[in-house]
């Protein structure tokens, strides 16, 4: 039996970053009463004021609407969260540790402990953060040892697969849900918690498959999914290296193998490689955890995946150097894109920003334009210049580097851009321009994995 304090379980969301803020807003949108919790007062003030602290399509409108409905609030008070919630989602960050490949679990531990001290009635704590396998058991032990309600507090693990840029859509319409649980009660509570998601799917004639499993499997699902995706990208980028050596075209190769349903065409876009706040640190933490478990050799290939990914950054720089005639020293370079992918302002582990830093190191005079990521990029890499438009970044450039495939860049007119630059030379780091069109317009073009 599911015992609610109201008709539907009341939800709290601990951690209001990309994952938590989106989850909180979307669950409120689905009709739940939600309290978002964070230790960062400035962030909480912003959210309560209707402002999303990062760029995510469609999220701010939903935030504003659900604040107005009264279903959604944000606080820094864990005691209030414990009183309010039947189900508490843990959505805090698990970044890479400064001194090793492993995940830093400090935020998970402190969020869980801060909540535990106030939990004096039956409740479900649901982990969503990406964590090393074994964390759910530790979280359960911390809760049982530190909550006034003791063993009445249960744990579930419910990994999240949302993509930046599609976070709202992925949360409202997930392609699957994974419930790592130990009891029927925990499973029932999760069913009730996601009733809104199931109802929406039914109304749209869809189904959301649910995989009910144990803690360890649920934790591993997330990291193995990300490891697979990273491997797929590095696979095609390894093929790009072979294509470069043999005169073949990796985009045609990807298209041809992608028609095989066993392979599939998604995540076969060769280019400067993967970045972001998830894939890079998740595959590293996965390797570290496997080594702790004595099966490090099983994931040795992920170190190769990382190396292939890094080599693409160097390759993009080499192509730019080649276009510049052998050296970037003193060369004016216009960089298009700083974020790790389009429709995001996230520059964490961004290939675009890393290549920009390498060009700067090589002596190039760099000006960067990104439609959304400039503020974050400037904080991460203050030593280069930033422009507020594409034309401004390209103005007088001797080499242009296209490093993030924003719509605005994909559709840029080669003849119009030619008017602005000093030399019509461009590296397409994302294979998103039509080489025939650009070459016909007089551009010298270099691509990754293509002649
Ligand atoms: C990823 C996972 O997709 C998501 O399920 C998980 O929850 C979090 O990590 P995200 O970090 O938002 O999501 O980015 P994603 O869209 O997966 O792209 C990751 C990186 O791979 C980007 O830098 C992107 O440019 C790159 N990429 C993606 C390629 O280089 N080629 C491709 O074919 C696909």
Ligand 1 mean position, distance from CA 160 (Å):
14
Cβ–Cβ < 8 Å for 270, 449: yes
Quick one: pLDDT at residue 3? 44
Quick one: pLDDT at residue 365? 98
Quick one: pLDDT at residue 45? 98
Q: Which atom of ligand 1 is nearest to the CA of 344?
A: 12
Quick one: pLDDT at residue 6? 47
Quick one: pLDDT at residue 2? 40
Nearest CA to ligand 1 atom 10: 163
> Which residues contact ligand 1 via a Cβ below 6 A?
161-164, 226, 229, 233, 267-269, 271, 273-276, 278-279, 340-341
Q: In the chain, what are the domain boundaries?
A: 11-212, 214-451
Annotated catalytic residue: which of 26, 243, 278, 432? 278
Would you say the CATH fold of 214-451 matches that of 11-212? yes
Quick one: pLDDT at residue 95? 95
Ligand 1 mean position, distance from CA 279 (Å):
7
List the pLDDT tens digit at each of the 451 positions of the chain. Answer: 344 444 699 999 999 999 999 999 999 999 999 999 999 999 999 999 999 999 999 999 999 999 999 999 999 999 999 999 999 999 999 999 999 999 999 999 999 999 999 999 999 999 999 999 999 999 999 999 999 999 999 999 999 999 999 999 999 999 999 999 999 999 999 999 999 999 999 999 999 999 999 999 999 999 999 999 999 999 999 999 999 999 999 999 999 999 999 999 999 999 999 999 999 999 999 999 999 999 999 999 999 999 999 999 999 999 999 999 999 999 999 999 999 999 999 999 999 999 999 999 999 999 999 999 999 999 999 999 999 999 999 999 999 999 999 999 999 999 999 999 999 999 999 999 999 999 999 999 999 999 9
Whole-angstrom distance, CA of residue 90 vs CA of residue 8: 19
Ligand 1 mean position, distance from CA 378 (Å):
22
Ligand 1 mean position, distance from CA 238 (Å):
17
Mutating to test ligand 1, I would choose from 20, 54, 163 the residue with most ligand atoms within 8 A of its C-beta, which is 163
CATH superfamily, domain 214-451, is NAD(P)-binding Rossmann-like Domain (3.40.50.720)
Which residues are CB-neighbours of 300 under 8 A, at least 6 positions away? none
Cβ–Cβ < 8 Å for 272, 311: no
Nearest CA to ligand 1 atom 26: 274
In the residue annotation, 432 being an active-site residue is answered as no
Quick one: pLDDT at residue 4? 47
Ligand 1 mean position, distance from CA 163 (Å):
7
Q: State residue 173 phi and psi, 5-degree precision.
A: -130, 65
Q: Which atom of ligand 1 is nearest to the CA of 271?
A: 30
CA distance to 126, 175, 267, 286, per residue, from 160 (Å): 11, 11, 19, 16
Q: Which atom of ligand 1 is nearest to the CA of 166?
A: 12
Quick one: pLDDT at residue 5? 42
Quick one: pLDDT at residue 216? 98
Mutating to test ligand 1, I would choose from 20, 227, 229, 354 the residue with most ligand atoms within 8 A of its C-beta, which is 229
User: Quick one: how far is CA 277 from the chain centroid?
Assistant: 5
Range 11-212 has CATH code 1.10.390.10: no
Nearest CA to ligand 1 atom 25: 341
Q: Helix 195-203 to helix 184-193 angle, to the nearest 10 degrees? A: 50
Ligand 1 mean position, distance from CA 120 (Å):
40
Q: Which atom of ligand 1 is nearest to the CA of 266?
A: 33
């Amino acid at each position: 039996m599911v015992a609610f304090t109201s008709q539907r379980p009341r939800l709290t969301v601990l951690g209001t970053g990309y994952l938590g803020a989106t989850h909180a807003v979307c669950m409120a949108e689905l009709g739940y009463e939600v309290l978002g919790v964070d230790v960062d007062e400035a962030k909480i003030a912003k959210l309560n004021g209707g402002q999303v602290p990062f760029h995510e399509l469609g999220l701010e409108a939903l935030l504003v609407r659900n604040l107005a409905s009264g279903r959604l609030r944000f606080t820094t008070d864990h005691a209030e969260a414990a009183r309010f919630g039947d189900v508490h989602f843990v959505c805090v960050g698990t970044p890479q540790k400064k001194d090793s490949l492993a995940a830093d679990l400090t935020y998970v531990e402190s969020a869980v402990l801060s909540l535990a001290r106030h939990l004096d009635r039956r409740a479900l704590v649901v982990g969503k953060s990406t964590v090393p396998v074994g964390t759910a058991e530790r979280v359960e032990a911390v809760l049982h040892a530190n909550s006034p309600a003791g063993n009445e507090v249960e744990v579930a693990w419910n990994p999240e697969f949302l993509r930046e840029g599609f976070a709202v859509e992925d949360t409202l319409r997930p392609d699957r849900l994974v419930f790592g649980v130990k009891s029927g009660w925990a499973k029932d509570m999760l069913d009730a918690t996601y009733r809104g998601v199931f109802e929406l799917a039914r109304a749209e004639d869809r189904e959301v498959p649910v995989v009910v499993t144990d803690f360890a499997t649920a934790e591993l699902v997330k990291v193995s999914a990300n490891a697979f995706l990273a491997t797929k990208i590095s696979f095609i980028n390894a093929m790009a290296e072979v294509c470069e050596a043999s005169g073949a075209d990796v985009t045609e190769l990807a298209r041809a193998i992608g028609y095989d349903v066993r392979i599939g065409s998604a995540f076969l876009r060769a280019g400067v490689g993967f970045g972001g706040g998830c894939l890079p640190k998740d595959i590293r933490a996965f390797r570290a955890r496997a080594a702790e478990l004595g099966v490090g050799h099983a994931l040795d290939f992920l170190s190769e995946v990382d190396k292939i990914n890094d080599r693409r950054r160097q390759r993009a720089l080499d192509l730019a150097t080649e276009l510049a005639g052998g050296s970037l020293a003193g060369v004016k370079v216009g960089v298009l894109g700083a974020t790790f992918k389009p429709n995001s302002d996230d520059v964490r582990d961004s290939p675009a920003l890393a290549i920009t830093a390498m060009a700067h190191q090589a002596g190039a005079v760099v000006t960067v334009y990104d439609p959304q990521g400039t503020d974050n990029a400037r904080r991460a890499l203050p030593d280069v210049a930033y422009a507020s438009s594409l034309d401004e970044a390209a103005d007088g450039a001797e080499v242009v580097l296209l490093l993030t495939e924003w719509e605005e860049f994909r559709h840029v007119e080669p003849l119009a851009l030619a008017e602005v630059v000093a030399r019509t030379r461009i590296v397409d780091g994302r294979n998103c321009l039509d080489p025939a069109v650009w070459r016909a317009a007089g551009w010298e073009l270099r691509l990754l994995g293509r002649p």
